A = this chain, B = another copy of it.
Amino acid sequence: MVTGCPRADLDEVGALTAFGVATVHEAIGRSGYLGPLIRPVYLGSRIGGTAVTVICWPGDNLMIHAAVEQCGPGDIMVVTTTSPSADGAFGELLATALQRRGVRGLVTTGGVRDVAELHAMGFPVFSAAVSAQGTVKATAGAVNVPVSIGGQPVCPGDAIIADDDGVVVVQRTGVAAALAAAKARADREDVSRAAFRRGELGLDRYGLRSVLSEQGVEYLDYESYLGKGGQT
In A26-48, the 8 Å CB interface with B consists of: 26, 30, 33, 35-36, 39, 42-44, 46
Residues in B neighbouring A43, C-beta threshold 8 A: 42, 115-116, 119
- Per-residue CB proximity of A146-160 to B under 8 Å, as 1/0? 111101110100000
Residue of B119, B168, B197, B208 near A132 (CB, 8 A) is: B168
* CB-based closest 7 A-B pairs: A140-B215, A148-B148, A36-B131, A58-B59, A97-B196, A65-B202, A115-B164
Name the residue of chain B whose CB is nearest to the CB of A56. Answer: B59
A231→B144 CA distance, assembly (Å):
10
In A94-118, the 8 Å CB interface with B consists of: 94, 96-97, 100-101, 111, 113-116
Show 17 residue pairs from A and B whose CB-CB distance is below 8 angstroms, ordered by the A residue: A2-B220, A3-B219, A36-B129, A44-B116, A59-B83, A65-B201, A65-B206, A65-B208, A66-B212, A66-B217, A82-B133, A96-B196, A136-B139, A138-B138, A138-B139, A146-B231, A153-B231
